Amino acid sequence: MTVEDDDDQAVPPGRQRKIIHVDMDAFYASVEQRDNPDLRGKPVAVGGSRERGVVAAASYEARKFGVRSAMPSVTAKRQCPELIFVKPRFEVYKAVSQQIREIFADHTPIIEPLSLDEAYLDVTENLQNIPLARDVALAIRSKIKEVTGLNASAGISYNKFLAKLASDHRKPNGQYVITPEMGPAFVEAIGGKLRQELILVASAHSKVRSSSRPPCDDRQFDGCAKAGSLLSHLGRK
């Protein structure tokens, strides 16, 4: 069952849902660093290193130089000359993801996977009878670390949108709770940032008419990515 399927089921009056968004930290790159000690502590990009290659994932060491997923490999290498490219091993990532899903299933049957490295969990009623959702998240993150050796971040709130924002708020290897009392102010603060990002995106697109540059050049890449991510989650519950 997914979180979407569970939306039609009644929640007792006066009781808020407890939603956790679990997001693995730099998942593909972290798996590579776990399996190859020589890569630990170094800037790593999973993806193709050739001229038309694209970064699929970047380690946090690489992100310090501005390297991001979906960035052209040539741009990434220019920003971080010491960047190490590693070919993706999707079968390994899928196997690790399955281990993580099994940990989720120990706590709730209501799981909505978004990709190999993130999912929403409805723990309003959880299988371990843990009263607080934050403690469920702590237990899940601890078990993931024990089983896979990898770090996960988590966001806890009363809907999926806020749970996603909460997990982003404490990355990497952290968690954050947005309560019903905190929700409106948190969204208002994020809304201000979103408006700024959208202004940057609109400005970038307006320049296309008089320039051959793509709408998102290197300097505007992060703004476009962040705005797009926030917009995509606005449509989710």
Residues annotated as catalytic are 118
On the CB side of 212, CA atoms within 13 Å amount to 0
DSSP character string of 50-61: STT-BEEEE-HH
Cα–Cα distance, 163 to 76 (Å, whole number) = 30
Phi, psi of 45 (to 5 degrees): -125, 130
Phi, psi of 72 (to 5 degrees): -55, 140
- Residue 72: strand, helix, or coil: strand
Residue burial 193-214, b: 16+ Cβ < 10 Å; e: rest? ebeebbebbeebeeeeeeeeee
- Size of the chain in residues: 237
DSSP 212: S
